[in-house]
Structure 1
Amino acid sequence: GLIFPVGLMLVLLAGGELFTGNNLITAAYMDKKVSFLAMAKNWLTVYAGNFAGSIFIAFLIVKSGQLSHGAHLLGGVTIKIAYSKVSLTFMQAVFLGILCNWLVCLAVWLCYGAKDMTGKMLGAFFPIWLFITSGFEHSVANMYYIPAGIMAKVIPEYAAASKLSAEMLASLNWHTFFVHNLIPVTLGNIIGGAFFVACLYSICYKPRS
């Protein structure tokens, strides 16, 4: 929870793009400042970029041997986290995705409302800390966590450290990643960010004539 907010800080302060935060473009769409096509193009492009980057980082981490720390326990924990995420029901994943991006988009909202670097960092920190410690589901984070677990499970030492049965390990695969987690979590993230933050705040703060 204390470390994870660094990711959003790097995105917002260094000029990167994050799919979940970009769900706030819905506010600009409602204000007729961007077209639906332009918003959809941004979402798809950034989503693809986030996915490619996450897979690349997962590959680097696994291949670098970083997961061997703690007598391979880090690798075991990585696999267990990935397994727990693909074991969610579809609706659980959707609701956890809603709760997650509600907080993530509020973090982005607060960050852009701050005037200096310290304020932006604090605005991003607390909502992200809350979503991580609450166990909510973030589609882009899962683009790293679950592929890292899938890659790690084929290494015998990591698989043994996870203490998962062969059946459990077999259920952690690319199919369950997409169907049981990424698709429903992405839908939930869009609802949480685009509706509960962007749409509702646009309605609440729309200038009255």
Structure 2
Amino acid sequence: MNGFLTPKEINECMVTSGKAKASLPIGKMLLLGIFAGMYVGLGAYGFTIVTSGAGSGFEATLAKFIGAGVFPVGLMLIIFCGAELFTGNCTLTLALAKKEITLGSLLRNLTVVYLANFVGSVLLAWLLFKSGLYSGEAMAAKAIGIAEAKTAIPLLPIIIRATFCNILVVLAVMMQAGSKDIIGKIFAIWFPIMLFVLAGFEHCVANMFFLPIGLFLGADITWSQIIINNLIPVTIGNVIGGAFVVPGVYYYTYLRTNKEAINAASDPVIAATAE
């Protein structure tokens, strides 16, 4: 008996999961979304701890790798303990394409979860700021540096980085769904998430923590810069990668039935578009 699902089975599993997520009551979406924002923020806090004391050159690269290795704990908590993460929920487009959910239910889930992720992330940032854990000069300087650097990234590069980020995030979600044991799920989550952090890609929910904690500590940024310079373009890129690129390819490859293909070919509008 295989310890993992086939790619087609994984995608079918994501459709079933998407249907369940879209039908959650708003109250549960909010609570689980707040928890997810805090879980990702804890991973981001761990990353800051590891990298705050590093120097330059190879030492900084090694510290970044170790920090990137700590960060995936956030998604592990979300998957294993149960929470709702905006970037992972972008795969609900698979259920939409299979007509298992409506566009309205998809937008309802993503909107509520996004706002809840924001609340959870900012709440954790404020609590950690008040805790005194950032009182050390190195920790504060690292958090401030991260926040100021993220708000200074130009528009096109930040969208590209965000697109690649959520390609890796949704692949991690799909890979863990394909594993039938906890150890397999841990490794399936760890490698893609570690890679996106190490690569310097941009994750909107992680930035909901990184940017406010930097602001609270005195970074030379404003809330409008946080939202306009970073969160909006990063969210756009995350949606492109996680809701369209990966689900689009895998829907076409594994979920689109012959009947759907025949209907599409016979539809004059689709046929004209294809030509």
Q: TM-score, normalised by structure 2?
A: 0.68
Distance 1:132 1:30 in 2: 30
SS of residue paired to 1:20: helix
Alignment partner, residue 237 of structure 2: 188
Structure 1: distance between partners of 2:87 and 2:195: 16
Higher relative contact order (CA 8 A, sep 6+): 1
Indicate whether 1:206 and 2:271 are aligned: no
- Give 1:89-100 correspondences, 5 Å limit: 89-100=154-165
Structure 1 residue 208: deviation in Å? 4.1
Query: Bigger radius of gyration, 1 or 2?
Result: 2
Structure 2 counterpart of 1:182, which letter? Answer: L
Superposition RMSD on alpha carbons, in Å?
A: 1.0
Give CA deviations for 1:108-148 in whole Å, capped at 9, x if unaligned.
00011111111111111100000000000000000000000
Identify the residue that residue 106 of structure 2 maps to in structure 1: 39
Q: Partner amino acid for 1:95?
A: I
**Structure 1 portions without partners, runs of 5+:** 154-168
AA aligned to 1:196 is V
* Shift in CA distance, 208/30, structure 1 to aligned 2, threshold 3 Å: closer
How has the CA–CA distance of structure 1 residues 94 and 18 changed in structure 2, closer, same or farther, with 3 Å as cutoff?
Answer: same
Q: CA shift at 1:67, angstroms?
A: 0.8
Q: Do structure 1's residue 116 and structure 2's residue 181 form an aligned pair?
A: yes
Aligned counterpart, 1:143: 208
Q: TM-score, normalised by structure 1?
A: 0.89
Q: Percent identity?
A: 41
Q: Which moved more, 1:59-68 or 1:185-194?
A: 59-68
Provide the residue aligned with 2:69 in structure 1: 2
Other structure's SS at 1:2 match: helix
SS at match of 1:177: helix
Q: Distance in 2 between matches of 1:103 and 1:54?
A: 21
Separation in 1, partners of 2:229, 2:152? 7
**In the alignment, which of 89, 94, 103 is matched to residue 22 of structure 1?**
89
In 2, Cα distance between the equivalents of 1:207 and 1:131? 29
**By how many angstroms is 1:207 displaced?**
5.2
Aligned to 2:122: 55
Query: Structure 2: 5+ residue runs without aligned partners?
Result: 1-67, 259-275
Q: Distance in 1 between matches of 2:185 and 2:103?
A: 28
Structure 1 position 206, deviation (Å): 2.0
Quote how far apart the aligned CAs of 1:53 are: 0.2
Q: C-alpha separation between the residues in 1 aligned to 2:97 and 2:256?
A: 13
Aligned residues: 191
The separation in 1 between residues aligned to 2:147 and 2:89, in whole angstroms, is: 25
AA aligned to 2:70 is I
1:78, CA displacement in angstroms?
A: 0.1
Q: 1:10 to 1:183 in 2, by over 3 A?
A: same
Q: Quote the residue 2:194 is aligned against.
A: 129
CA distance in 2, matches of 1:206, 1:175: 41
